[in-house]
């Protein structure tokens, strides 16, 4: 965040049912697209018409939905560690989504089980280890400290299953990605067990005005080692847009 904030106003927020936001899915259920609309509501509340939008993982899906549903609100977009939305046009010998490691699915079956605070921290650290990939050494203490900060911020240590239960059907607008004109940076994470690099290449090929950057060794985590190249890629993309440069439309 510090790197991105040099010369830019950075806005970040807690999704519903995370951090210090309200945890109330059972009382007030919502869809995945409503989560994307929350970003627009925040811009409205701050009196901002447009913004450079960056999304990782689930956030990458939400950014793509904003690209097709509300492109007028985006100065640029950056998608990290997420495949194309469902419905993206297939190409010969190319699939929109490579499969996720089945071992992760088995591990995630236990994600929402109740645990004592320290046991919950250790489960989350192990989850990060699996998501980190095998190239960049995993620093358990770095992620243990992160999880302790998250728990203090949220005031609770449990994990909500709300996002797994939120209706995702409204996100199936991948067919519209071919019409997007907002400059978009797709960041490939080659060690990501949830989103193989081929997924990012497919997304970049689908978006008419996109560039693809691979962060060497990056998985589905942001350890300190990847912060400099990741921040440089995002800032370079944002500054290109700020100068009014436009990526060429692909044939």
Of 76, 160, 200, 220, which residue is the catalytic one? 220
Of 192, 200, 210, 237, which residue is the catalytic one? 192
Q: Are strands 74-80 and 184-188 parallel, antiparallel or unpaired?
A: parallel
Q: Compute the radius of gyration of the chain from its Cα atoms.
A: 18
Phi-psi region of 127 (alpha: psi -120 to 50; beta: other; left: phi over 0): alpha
Is 57 an active-site residue? yes
Half-sphere exposure of 138 (CA within 13 A, CB side): 17
DSSP 8-state class, residue 1: -
Largest separation between any pair of C-alpha atoms in the chain: 55
CB of 10 closer than 8 Å to CB of 32: no
Of 17, 57, 157, 237, which residue is the catalytic one? 57
Is 21 an active-site residue? no
Is 160 an active-site residue? no
Q: Taking the CB of residue 8, how many other CB atoms lie within 10 A of it?
A: 14
Active site residues: 57, 192, 220
């Amino acid at each position: 965040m510090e790197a991105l904030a040099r010369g830019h106003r950075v806005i970040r927020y807690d999704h519903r049912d995370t951090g210090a936001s309200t945890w109330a899915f059972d009382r007030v259920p919502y869809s995945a697209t409503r989560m994307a609309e929350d970003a627009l509501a925040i811009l409205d509340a701050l009196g901002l018409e447009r913004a450079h939008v960056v999304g990782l993982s689930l956030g990458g899906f939400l950014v793509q939905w904003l690209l097709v549903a509300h492109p007028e609100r985006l100065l640029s977009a950056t998608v990290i560690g997420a495949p194309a939305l469902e419905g993206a046009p297939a190409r010969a010998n190319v699939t929109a989504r490579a499969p996720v490691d089945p071992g992760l699915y088995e591990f995630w079956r236990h994600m929402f089980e109740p645990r004592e605070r320290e046991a919950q921290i250790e489960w989350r650290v192990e989850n990060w280890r699996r998501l980190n990939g095998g190239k960049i050494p995993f620093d358990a203490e770095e992620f243990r400290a992160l999880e302790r900060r998250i728990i203090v911020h949220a005031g609770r240590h449990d994990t909500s299953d709300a996002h797994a239960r939120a209706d995702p059907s409204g996100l199936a607008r991948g067919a519209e990605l071919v019409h997007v004109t907002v400059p978009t940076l797709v960041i490939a994470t080659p060690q990501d067990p949830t989103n193989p690099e081929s997924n990012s290449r497919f997304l970049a090929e689908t978006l008419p005005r996109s560039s693809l950057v691979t962060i060497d060794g990056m998985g589905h985590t942001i350890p300190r080692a990847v912060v400099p190249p990741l921040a440089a890629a995002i800032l370079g993309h944002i500054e290109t847009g700020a100068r009014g440069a436009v990526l060429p439309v692909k044939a």
